[in-house]
Copies of this chain bind each other. A is one copy, B any other.
Amino acid sequence: MAISAEQVKALRDATGAGMMDSKRALEATDGDLEKAKDWLRQKGMARAGAKASRTAKEGIIATYIHHNHQLGVMVELNSESDFVARNDEFRHLAHEVAVHIAAAEPHYVRREEVPEEVLNREKAIFAAQAQDQKKPANVVEKIVQGKLNDFYKREVLLDQAWAKDDKKTVDQVVKESIAKLGENITISRFARFKVGEAS
């Protein structure tokens, strides 16, 4: 089968293997990227655990420790340029976001990260609550949508009210920094550890 230049590039990016080796691997595996990765590793031409994708993002990692080391937060804040990543205002925002996460206890950065099954379970509970109260179907639907919005405001970082000023959301605070600093800024991930709460 014919292997495209895009496929070869994807495999090279994923494995660090050379161009000809990557092409040969894809030919040997009918263009299956995952199988081609294994093929290269089997031949010793690719490193185990090479990152599947390396984005070219700039930014910083910020941490915040609270309550006599009983609570810790780590967050990655991304910018487009190294210049902005070194800016004091950008670094201040990263710190403030970490402090916010410590206080507000979100579970996801953005709505799209909430797993389908979590969402379905929440919806089923909200619908059952509304039906218990003998509401008509169209009202039930509105109630479920309202409760779902409450769920997002509680669990999703960007939807949460900003801990230092609850008249704006975290998303709005980020957008203010985007306007000030003149380039896109994103919160890509966070971790929040409390002693004794490991799953």
**Most-contacted residue by chain B among A51, A57, A69, A122 (CB, 10 A):** A69
What B residues does A194 contact at CB under 8 A?
61
What B residues does A189 contact at CB under 8 A?
193, 198
Instruction: Determine the distance from Cα of A151 to Cα of B49 in the docked complex, in whole angstroms.
Output: 10
A132 within 8 A of B: yes
Number of interface residues of A (CB under 8 A): 51
Min C-beta distance of A71 to chain B, whole Å: 6
B193 and A42 within 8 A (CB): no
- Cross-chain contact of A60 among B42, B59, B70 (Cβ < 8 A): B70
Given contacts A42-B125, A128-B42, A198-B188, contact A60 B55 (CB under 8 A): no
Other CB < 8 Å A-B pairs besides A48-B154, A61-B72, 11 of them?
A: A42-B125, A51-B197, A55-B198, A57-B196, A60-B70, A61-B195, A62-B65, A69-B91, A72-B76, A191-B191, A191-B193
- Nearest 8 CB-CB pairs, A to B? A61-B72, A60-B69, A191-B191, A63-B63, A188-B198, A57-B196, A74-B74, A42-B128
A–B pairs, 24, beta carbons within 8 Å = A38-B125, A42-B128, A42-B129, A42-B132, A43-B129, A43-B132, A48-B154, A49-B155, A54-B197, A55-B197, A59-B195, A60-B70, A61-B69, A61-B194, A61-B195, A63-B72, A72-B76, A74-B74, A74-B191, A76-B193, A76-B198, A78-B195, A189-B198, A191-B193
